[in-house]
Amino acid sequence: MAYTAKIGPSILSSDLSQLGGECERMMECGADYLHLDVMDGHFVPNITFGHPMVECLRRCIGPDPFFDMHMMVSRPEQWVKPMAAAGANQYTFHLEATTNPGNLIKEIRESGMKVGLAIKPGTTVEELAPWAGQIDMALVMTVEPGFGGQKFMEDMMPKVSWLRGQFPSLDIEVDGGVGPDSIHRCAEAGANMIVSGSAVVSSDDPRSVIALLKNVVIEAIQKRSLDR
């Protein structure tokens, strides 16, 4: 089993006027990576930010933090090179947004980034499966993408369990409504990369929340390795 527990605060939940400082604060509180939500107003109704801001953030907080770009955009092919140049580490695109996933995966790899592949709640995990051997991470959305603060969709957990059973060493990320109340279900299903927005970022004690989330995932990974 090659995967490990990683917690990635969703920085969209932070004070956007202080984004550099907020990212540094999350890393100091024990975050393993930063999850950056890019929305284009087409694939999802909201608009957030693009590669110029990623470039500024990278300059501000240095080379170390791992930037996981969640590209909620209708033309993911368009932004691969700009995001790589801006300092992104992983490019997570939506299966629903492209007609040629294989080509896009190749482009992302050639640009020097890791590859993430995301599916919305309405997309079956079997549609992702043919690409699982070519990607670094699968993202199972646990809310409809586009807005923060939605309720965690527990009925997405069978997708996570199925992926973990089929692809034991794959990084599997969950995103949407994940916090102390839902982390046990995510960890038991087999998720190891946990995106958490307001539960971490808006907490009075983000360090404790990150530690709690991580410990639950570590325990689930240990249990799974013992059960095998």
Mean pLDDT computed over every residue of the chain:
96
Average pLDDT over residues 204-209: 98
Q: Are 187 and 220 in contact (CB under 8 A)?
A: yes
Q: In the block, which residue shows the tokens 């907080």?
A: 61
**Whether residue 61 has pLDDT greater than 80:** yes
Interatomic CA distance for residues 34 and 127, integer angstroms: 27
Residue 147: what pLDDT? Answer: 73
Catalytic residue from among 15, 32, 37, 136: 37
Domain range 6-227, its CATH number among 3.40.50.150, 3.40.50.2020, 3.20.20.70, 2.120.10.80 = 3.20.20.70
Assigned token pair, 126: 């079997």
Respond yes or no: is residue 37 known to be catalytic.
yes
Interatomic CA distance for residues 178 and 185, integer angstroms: 10
The DSSP result for 122-159, as a single string, is: TS-HHHHGGGGGG-SEEEEESS-TT-SSPPP-GGGHHH
* Per-residue confidence band for 93, with pLDDT thresholds at 50, 70 and 90: very high
The predicted-structure confidence for 105-162, as pLDDT tens digits, reads as follows 999 999 999 999 999 999 999 999 999 999 999 999 999 998 767 899 999 999 999 9
Q: Is 149 annotated as a binding residue?
A: yes
Q: Is 30 annotated as a binding residue?
A: no
The candidate with the shortest Cα–Cα distance to 169, out of 141, 192, 189, 185, is 192
**Whether residue 79 has pLDDT greater than 70:** yes
Model-wide pTM > 0.95: yes
Catalytic residue from among 15, 68, 175, 204: 175
Average pLDDT over residues 192-202: 97
Q: Over the Cα atoms of the chain, what is R_g? A: 16
Interatomic CA distance for residues 133 and 37, integer angstroms: 24
In 6-100, alpha helices (H): 19-28, 51-61, 80-86
In the chain, alpha helices (H): 19-28, 51-61, 80-86, 101-110, 125-128, 157-166, 183-189, 198-201, 206-227
Exposure on the CB side of residue 8, measured as CA atoms within 13 A: 28
Q: Is 37 annotated as a binding residue?
A: yes
Q: Is 182 annotated as a binding residue?
A: no
Residue 149: what pLDDT? Answer: 72
Residue 1: what pLDDT? Answer: 58
The predicted-structure confidence for 214-223, as pLDDT tens digits, reads as follows 999 999 999 9
